[in-house]
């Protein structure tokens, strides 16, 4: 599972934010891939090391250290806008179709309550990739020719197959599964509408102390 989260915390990890009782809002989520648009929100310099608790094959607790990006909302949106031409040139399909996916992302990436935006793909990296493939995320944030292959790998985009359009993806729930749908999902921002975004609220202690005479 991958999450795009909005928080005032400084940690790009839902697990650690919950552990530290920090509030965050889940802006978007995706299962077994990292949407290409998300990767344009961050730079390599935004990566921050996080230590994640996992389990080994015997169910014993252990820790993995990964790097996930976090930056201010303003910087993230600026990064995205500056990456427009890169996005339009990166995929082998109609530019007007890519433009629609880009514009749709800008329209939906709104309603931020907190100052920071973070990508948490720790579960995806640990469960779906080998450890020597974790560097794909760093490469994907480079916004250069090397980044294109990494973005396609992480997003699951299949070259040579034209994706469904934004309108088809959003208006037709019975689209046939396959590479066309997979490529559409790779390009889509997968942003939840503001009213339906998951919010993790810190637990507030209700214990009261009384002075006894």
On the 0-12 / 13-18 / 19+ scale of CB atoms within 10 A, 87 is buried
> Would the pTM count as exceeding 0.85?
yes
- Looking at residue 162, what is its pLDDT? 94
**Strand extents, DSSP E, the chain:** 2-7, 24-30, 47-55, 61-72, 116-120, 198-200
- The closest alpha carbon to 70, from 102, 90, 45, belongs to 45
For residues 77 and 85, what is the distance between their CA atoms, to the nearest angstrom? 15
The secondary structure element, H or E, covering residue 45 is none
- Looking at residue 204, what is its pLDDT? 65
- Looking at residue 206, what is its pLDDT? 46
pLDDT in tens, the chain (213 residues): 999 999 999 999 999 999 999 999 999 999 999 999 999 999 999 999 998 777 666 777 777 889 999 999 999 999 999 999 999 999 999 999 999 999 999 999 999 999 999 999 988 888 877 877 889 999 999 999 999 999 999 999 999 999 999 999 999 988 888 999 999 999 999 998 899 999 999 876 444 443 444
φ and ψ at 47, to 5 degrees?
Answer: -70, 140
- Looking at residue 212, what is its pLDDT? 40
């Amino acid at each position: 599972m991958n999450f795009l989260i909005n928080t005032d915390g400084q940690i790009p990890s839902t697990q650690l934010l919950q552990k530290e009782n920090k509030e965050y809002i889940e802006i978007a989520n995706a299962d077994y891939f990292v949407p290409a648009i998300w990767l344009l929100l961050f730079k390599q310099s935004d990566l921050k090391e996080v230590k994640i608790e996992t389990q080994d094959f015997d169910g014993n607790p252990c820790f993995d250290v990964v790097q996930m990006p976090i930056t201010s909302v303003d910087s993230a949106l600026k990064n995205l806008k500056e990456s427009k031409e890169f996005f339009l040139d990166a995929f082998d399909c109609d530019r007007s179709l890519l433009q629609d996916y880009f514009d749709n992302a800008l329209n939906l990436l709104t309603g931020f309550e907190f100052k920071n935006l973070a990508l948490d793909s720790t579960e995806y990296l640990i469960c779906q990739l080998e450890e020597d493939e974790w560097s794909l995320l760093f490469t994907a944030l480079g916004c250069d020719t090397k980044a294109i292959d990494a973005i396609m790998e992480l997003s699951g985009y299949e070259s040579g197959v034209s994706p469904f359009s934004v309108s088809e993806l959003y208006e037709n729930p019975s689209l046939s599964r396959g590479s066309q749908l997979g490529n559409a999902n790779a390009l889509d921002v997968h942003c939840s509408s503001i009213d339906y975004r998951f919010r993790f609220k810190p637990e507030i202690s209700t214990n009261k102390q009384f002075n006894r005479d």
